[in-house]
Structure 1
Amino acid sequence: MHVIFKSLFLLVFVPIYSQNSISGTISNSNTNESLAYVNVYLPKLEKGTVSDENGFFKIDNLPSGNHEILFSFIGFESKSRIIKIPMSENLNIQLATSAIEMKDIIISTPFHKLQRDNVMKVEQENIKTLKANGAMTLADGIGNIAGVESITTGIGIGKPVIRGLSSNRVLVYVQGVRLENQQFGDEHGLGINDTGVESVEVIKGPASLLYGSDALGGVLYINPEKFANNNASSGDVGTIYFSNTQGFLTTAGVKSSTETFKFLFRGSVASHSDYKTEDYRVTNTRFKEQDFKAGIGYQKAHFKNEFRYNVNTSKLGIPEEIGSQSTEKTPLLPYQEITNHVFSNKSTVFFTDSKLDINLGFIYNDRKEFEEEHHHDDEAHEEEEHEHENDDILEAALHMKLNTINYDVKYHLPNSEKIETIIGVQGMNQTNKNYGEEQLIPDATTNDIGVLATSHIHFEKADVQLGVRFDNRTIAVVSGINKNFNSLNGAAGVKTNITKNMVARLNLATGFRSPNLAELTSYGSHEGTNRFEIGNKNLKSEQNFQMDLSIEYNDKHWEVFANGFYNTINNYIYLSPDSSVIDETPVYNYLQNDANLYGGEFGIHLHPHPIHWLHVESSFETVIGKQNNGDYLPLIPANSINNVIRVEFDKNRLQESYAFIKIKSTFNQNKVSLNETNTEGYNLLSAGIGGTVQFLKNNLTINISGNNLTNKTYINHLSRLKPDGIFNMGRNIGLGLRYHF
């Protein structure tokens, strides 16, 4: 904490420096014609603009020093340059045409760069693209990212799985701070709405060097909506209708920026009835959600600050069996009521050739679960289902409040053309308190602190990234249990160009995860999971070592990638039944054993000449997880292959228009744990079309998408409803409209 106060002191007494400007022109390298509306962005400053009709751009109020500047435009190859500010002359930038999609800046890694410059392999998807492909929720959308799946309870509850690891083994970051929302439970989802989200990044593999405990399996990094460019304002209102659930998502937002101040506001509401299969509706998969996001930014030449706030409230049904068939949208018993507040403040002080980042966060998670009482006849049961709509007469059986304070302070040392180095300290203080009549985990306080150092070294033929980190976690339980965990971790990676168009990346990293409060202290039944879970206070930390090898080939007309990994985990924690019963519920205990996971993702992307508007994509992903005793790990995704044909146009009347058809083939999953059953494979057909037209002098974006168009009845291996033989969702048509002003 001393480092934080010292850093805040620096913010107050930061010296006054002269302010600088940069300007230049951007043109087509083939025709020398000026390019308008090119994105110009300085990632370290998080400041940018767009070129005007003459290709001219200018950015004011910039600090002195070496800075990376990026130029990107649809249909052209992105370009990056290192510039030294102040500059005495204008920049003259030429961009080459390219059929390869424009890539955004990678935020989740410490050295913000285009993916092609990164030593670590990071997957990134734009939320706009995921929604256009028919994703109903954020958890649904991330399943389109290679190597990522979701454990689902219907459509309202989903949690990420990265290469076979999930729950507390995958860390989620939102608004630049780690999200904590009691994610240990099977039926505990992300609690994040995808409105007001720009993009999603996925670090696959141990990221403990960057993020500490719980990043053993990877990181899901959710980037919030960007502020408007300087001296610009915009707004939008939109809605999406989903035929299967007769549901909708409506959102509205506005944002504006001057040279110094920025703000944005966005609100959304969503409501869905029970989803439908070919034969029935799945009772109590209905849910309602409200979301509000706000952001305020301030920036001068040598200091910038960004404060964001998000509140998300949701009422989620917990399905158990097929019962009443209706299109009502108010959940039945049992259901969850969750309110999640996220406050974040991100500050940066710029010195000559160095900078100091200070990220502070506070997350308040209020979780209530209302359970169904025993009933003597169906009539009484039916009456209570309607009565519970008035929540004032109900008492939450389970009520937990989780308060989490995060801090992350990093100093970027003065860099040169050869080496960039960061040192930092991160930590967390977390308290859990119970207010309901039932208790799954006791009142407790958790404290984390970690120190790290990492460098990115540029050699003539390779880039190398090295890092080391030490962490300490203490858990103090009211009942008297006190645990202390320490871990030293490191990472090393290299990226090199094998040929002009072929890039290879090799990364070696260790990671760790301390046992969470549930694994150490649980004693109770989990609603909907049909398990009485008993914790184990003697559990040790999980420790892993992973090797990643990635090879990519990019040409003007085709791209190929192959990613392979091998992950060995010591002291892997898992649940196992012991044949006993408590309260008519089978008992499960937390045990440990060493485990190994291995697999990868492979794909090809064709955009043949001269028809660059045609894209043919195919990708395959596989993962196998086994304990050292030969037993398979639970909840491992089945192998799958995605085949997509996509066309993209940009005409005067219909801008950014597209159409696609997709077939996802999921294979049989026969490599299952002792507590699982085999799952049959299936094929799902999807298609969509969309574009932007001029309406009342502004842009109107229209999207139509259809998922599971053949209305296939199937069960995903990661569905929590699988043990009851309940199918996943049937045919769904989505219609989206968004008006920009």
Structure 2
Amino acid sequence: MFKYLLVVIFMATVAMCTAQDCKNTLKGKITDFHNNKPLELAQVYVEEQERTYTSNSAGEYQVNDLCTGVYHLIITHIDCDKKSIEVLVNQDKILNITLEHHINELDEVQVVADVHDDHATTQNATRIDKELIQKYSGATLGDALETVPGVSSLKTGQGVVKPIVHGLYGSRITIVNNGVRLQDQEWGTEHAPNIDPNTASSIRVIKGSSALRYGGDAVGGTIIIDPARVISKDTIMGNAILTGQSNGRGGAITAGIQRYKKSGWYQQANITFKRLGDFEAPDYILSNTGSQTAATRLAVGYKQFEYGLSAEYNFYDTELGILRASHIGNTADLVRSINSGEPAIINEFTYDIDVPKQEVIHHQVALNAFKRFRNLGKFEFNYQYQLNNRKEFDVRRGALSERAALDIDLKTHNFQGYLNIDASDKWNHELGVDAVLQTNSPDATTGVRRLIPDYNSIKVGGFLGTQYQFTDRLMIEAGARYDHYSIDAKKFYITSRWESLGYDVRFAQFERFRESIQVYTEPELDFDLFAFSSGVQYSFKDHFDITFNVSHSQRAPNPGELFSEGLHHALATIEIGRLELNKEVSNKISASFHANYNNWDVELAPYYNRINDFIQLVPNGVQLTNRGAFAVYEYEQLDAVLAGVDMSASYHIKRKETIKRTPYNRTISVTKNWISLGAQFSYVYGEDVKNDKPLIDIPPAQLLTKIEIEDVFTEGLQVEIANQQVWKQNRFPDNDYEITYAADNGNAVTETVEISESPDAYNLWNLGLAYSIKSQNNKPNLSFRLQVNNVLSTKYRDYLNRQRFYADEIGRNFIAQILYNF
């Protein structure tokens, strides 16, 4: 009896203790991290209870009857990243929670069309998505960018593709790779961006100088390459792409993998290898145009919503053959090659890359850290180091045949501090400072006069920008930037040239001493640069919007424009810089009119850009050297106008279909594009208003039309037919010149070198066929693509290809691709 009584007392005591321990309350308030406003209908899921609690209009939540212990909470809200919290409850407790609730932070995860205009700001911007980037996996960044209205390419053969935005290229275009401004001797017209496009998750093209965070000298525009976003989830994902092509008889393989942890740690890796032999025009081999490229990207980091840090390394190594026929032995051969219309040298196909050629290695290291401050915003600090080594090999004899004629190391340190103030619903401010330290070191032992001299440069600047949302329909933004740029060079000038240009009087302060036929100088130049941008956007109802932007930007002449003097082997031209060049001053007005209604999407974007002291490179003769005869190009300065319009339109015929979605295997009805019709048109007008004549190297008008049909005959099969019409550029300056040479019979012959005339118009047909096998989540994880470019093997020449004087463009090209996502 006594034993049973003890058991009853013990059980009652345990029950009383348990009842006492399980009466704890956890409550608090859920607010927006930025502006501390309460978030209604936020959900708090308690894993141990398997129950969900919802916040009220004041953002308050309450969880009752909790026992003493550790609890795991998952907090979610619409348009917010979910947040996980571990909390010890041993008494009544107040736990206030903040969530990220700004749509603009989620812009990076939007699902967008292949190429479409980005209407989040007043900037004229376009985004290229991952699917289209993968389509161009075996090509170059410039090839992918040509799908954007208003973007074309300046080419040197097929391997060097340099983007042109609204008629501008080179130093006027800023390329930003994951927040890092690329520094790869971009001043050269035949220097392609040293970036593997396979590392990008999306690419944004901002047409104009509006992206002040990355510099105010982007007179043409800014190209921003964004990698895959970081997610807080325990998962591994990636892809592998195998590409093969008939023209060049080679291909590419690329693979990427990302590992993410719920704790915030992540790792990302990409690797690419490309190998191509000689390209082929419709009628002959383009000898010595093969290429080989290897690229790697490695990133590691830790990211929480409130803070994070990362480290990244990019490596890019490419070897590019230069068309052998572009390097000529004497002036007579030069005239024949340019005027005859056929290469002077045609050999059998080979994968060998012989001289002339260029080799480029680019290293990039980036460190990033950020911290979010409640009721303020996000502060970010970046440091980058870049090392770019460029070698150019000429046709040389004897012991020098294997030695580079040009060998340059460019080292760049970049420091950035950036603050985004977004605590207000209506206001958004951003400001930052940065410094760029650069050292250029050409090898003095190549046996050839240095094209670009030794120099050190420093650029220090800062910017301030603001955006105000007046109403749901009206938004304005404005920004300003100032930079101070100084460059100190060490250069030998030929005495006769130094004096003929009057430099011995105008720049006597730079002279240090004279030696034989040379003058040693140490030029020290300083430039103060100012830029601003302002714009307005207004939306009419839900389907129409209009934007208007005014910008002013200034660009200092780059080292190539200031100091070039010698043979540029990749172009087979002699380039002459001008020490007296002033900074360029651009004033641009742009607008866009966009309508997205029913099945139509239409965009019209005119612009007008007045650039004072515009710098351009023009041919003015020929020079015979001990290495052959080469066209001479000189930099000149003038006042220019570039005006034009970009237009695009698409029409989608849609259909409904039912699909099953995991994990509940539910059947839902969705509307999908079935047939899509699209067209893009671009036109640029370039005029030298000082001398009343056209500008050189202005893209001709072009029209791209295409039709895409989804699920042809069977689900997952897609057909694409595209046509590209490029008109003849009838507006070009007359830069033809005469040369005199000895003919085979010994008589002197004078001929005109027709270097100005543009090629005829041309029309190309392209055909694409793709088939995708979808996974259980209805996303393609295995895709096959067959692309045929220049289906009719049309014979043509591109006005913007610097080697159009020597050979035709490539003929028909079959491209096969296998893509696997996991």
What is aligned with 1:631?
693
Gaps of 5+ in 1: 1-16, 26-48, 81-100, 107-113, 376-383
The answer to whether the aligner puts 1:423 opposite 2:431 as a matched pair is yes
Change (3 A) 1:174 1:164: same
* Residue 318 of structure 1: how far off its partner (Å): 1.1
2:637 is matched with which residue? 592
Q: Counterpart of 1:195 in 2: which secondary structure?
A: helix
Q: SS of the residue aligned with 2:809?
A: coil
Matched letter for residue 460 of structure 2: I
Quote the residue 1:368 is aligned against: 391
Higher Cα Rg, which structure:
2
Return closer, same or farther for 1:208/1:416 CA change in 2, 3 Å cut-off: closer
The normalised TM-score by structure 2 is 0.74
Structure 1 residue 72: Cα displacement: 9.5
Shift of 1:135: 6.5
Deviation for aligned residue 1:402: 0.3
Deviations 1:14-63 (A, max 9, x none): xxx9xx999779xxxxxxxxxxxxxxxxxxxxxxx9x9xxx998444798
Instruction: Identify if the C-alpha distance between structure 1 residues 234 and 135 changes in structure 2 by more than 3 Å, giving closer, same or farther.
Output: closer
Cα deviations by residue, 1:686-706 (Å, 9 ceiling, x for unpaired) = 111213226999932211111
The superposition leaves residues 586-641 of structure 1 with CA deviations (integer Å, 9 ceiling, x where unpaired) of 44332211000000111211013558321111121100111111121111111011
CA contact (8 A) 1:491 1:509 kept: yes
Q: 1:344 maps to which residue?
A: 366
Deviates more, 1:292-301 or 1:486-495: 292-301
- 1:605 equivalent in alignment to 2:636: no
Matches within 5 A, 1:305-704: 305-321=309-325, 322=343, 323-353=345-375, 354-373=377-396, 394-435=402-443, 436-438=446-448, 439-460=450-471, 461-478=473-490, 479-579=521-621, 581=623, 583=625, 584-608=629-653, 610=655, 612-628=673-689, 629-649=691-711, 654-655=715-716, 657-675=717-735, 676-693=756-773, 699-704=781-786
Aligned equivalent of 2:218: 215
CA gap of 1:691–1:515, structure 2 versus 1, over 3 A, is: same
Amino acid at match of 1:613: W
Q: Cα deviation per residue 1:203-245 (whole Å; 9 max; x = unaligned)?
A: 1122463332541111111222344652110233321001111
How many angstroms does 1:149 deviate by? 0.8
In 1, the alpha carbon distance for the partners of 2:620 and 2:114 equals 50
**1:67 aligns to what?**
101
Which residue does the alignment assign to 1:197? 200
Aligned residues: 647
Q: Closer, same or farther in 2 for the Cα pair 1:579/1:169, shift >3 Å?
A: same
In the superposition, relative to structure 1, how do residues 265 and 615 fare at CA in structure 2: closer, same or farther (>3 Å)?
same
Partners of 1:270 and 1:180 lie apart in 2 by: 23
- Shift of residue 738, structure 1, vs aligned partner: 2.1
Structure 2: how far apart are the matches of 1:609 and 1:739?
27
The SS at the match of 1:192 is: coil
**Equivalent residue number for residue 156 of structure 1:** 159
Return the offset for 1:415. Answer: 2.7
SS of 1:518's partner is helix
Q: Post-superposition shift, 1:326? A: 3.3
Where does residue 794 of structure 2 map in the other structure? 712
Q: Which amino acid aligns with 2:102?
A: E
- Higher mean C-alpha displacement, 142-151 vs 210-219: 210-219
Q: Residue 173 of structure 2 corresponds to which residue in structure 1? A: 170
Judge conservation of contact 2:369–2:380 (CA < 8 Å) in 1: yes
Q: 1:721: Cα distance to partner?
A: 1.2
Percent identity between matched residues is 25
State the distance in 2 between where 1:360 and 1:636 align.
Answer: 37
**What is the root-mean-square deviation in Å for CA atoms of aligned residues?**
3.2
Are 2:125 and 1:122 equivalent residues in the alignment?
yes
Output the CA distance in 2 between the equivalents of 1:646 and 1:219: 30
Deviation at 1:666, TM superposition (A): 0.7
> SS at the partner of 1:699?
strand
Q: Using a 3 Å threshold, how does the CA distance of structure 1 residues 603 and 301 change in structure 2: closer, same or farther?
A: closer
8 Å Cα contact 1:246/1:327 also seen in 2: no
Counterpart Cα distance in 1 of 2:411 and 2:105: 41
Partners of 1:446 and 1:487 in 2: how far apart? 15
Residue 112 of structure 2 is aligned to residue 102 of structure 1 = yes
Report deviation, 1:659. Answer: 2.0
Cα displacement (A) at 1:513: 1.0
2:273/2:295 contact within 8 Å kept: yes
State whether residues 113 and 129 of structure 2, in contact with CA within 8 Å, keep that contact through their aligned partners in structure 1: no
For 1:721, what is the secondary structure of its paired residue? coil
1:225 aligns with 2:228: yes
Q: Which residue of 2 aligns with 1:255?
A: 258
Secondary structure at the aligned position of 2:171 is classed as helix
Q: Secondary structure at the match of 2:634?
A: strand
How far 1:371 moved relative to its partner?
Answer: 1.2
CA distance in 2, matches of 1:607, 1:585: 52
What is the SS of the residue equivalent to 2:198? coil
Written as runs of structure 1 = structure 2, the 5 A alignment for 1:273-284 is 273-284=277-288
One-letter amino acid of the counterpart of residue 270, structure 2? R
Contact 2:115 2:127 in 1 (8 A): no
Q: State the Cα distance separating 1:548 from its structure 2 match.
A: 0.4
Q: Partners of 1:310 and 1:631 in 2: how far apart?
A: 44
Give the conservation status (yes or no) of the 8 Å contact 1:134–1:734. Answer: no
| Aligned amino acid, residue 241 of structure 1 | G
Cα drift, residue 104 of structure 1: 9.8
Contact 2:115–2:148 under 8 Å retained in 1: no
CA apart distance, 1:532? 2.2
Change in Cα spacing, 1:129 to 1:573, as seen in structure 2 (3 Å) is: same
CA gap 1:622/1:102 in 2 versus in 1, 3 angstroms: same
CA contact (8 A) 1:207 1:511 kept: no
User: Which residue matches 1:98?
Assistant: none
Distance 1:544 1:601 in 2: 20
**Residues 70, 707 of structure 1: CA spacing in aligned structure 2 closer, same or farther, 3 A cutoff?**
same
Aligned partners of 1:325 and 1:105: how far apart in 2? 40
Cα deviation, 1:313-363, whole Å, max 9, x if unaligned, reads 111101141434333222111111111111122221100031101222111
Does the CA-based 8 Å contact 2:115-2:147 persist in structure 1? no
Cα separation, partners in 2 of 1:536 and 1:453, compared to 1, 3 Å? same
Are residue 732 (structure 1) and residue 813 (structure 2) matched? yes
> Distance in 1 between the 2:136 and 2:298 partners?
27
**How far apart are the structure 1 equivalents of 2:789 and 2:163?**
20
Write out aligned runs for 1:2-151 (5 A).
Answer: 58-60=82-84, 64=98, 67-69=101-103, 102=112, 115-132=118-135, 136-151=139-154
Supply the distance in 1 between the matched residues of 2:776 and 2:308 (Cα, whole angstroms). Answer: 37
CA distance in 1, matches of 2:703, 2:115: 27
Q: 2:275 aligns with which of 271, 275, 278?
A: 271
3-state DSSP of counterpart to 1:638: coil
- Does the Cα contact within 8 Å between 1:526 and 1:532 map onto a contact in 2? yes
User: 1:288 and 2:292 equivalent?
Assistant: yes
SS at match of 1:117: coil
Q: Give the partner amino acid of 1:333.
A: V
Normalization by structure 1: what TM-score? Answer: 0.81
CA contact (8 A) 2:260 2:267 kept: yes
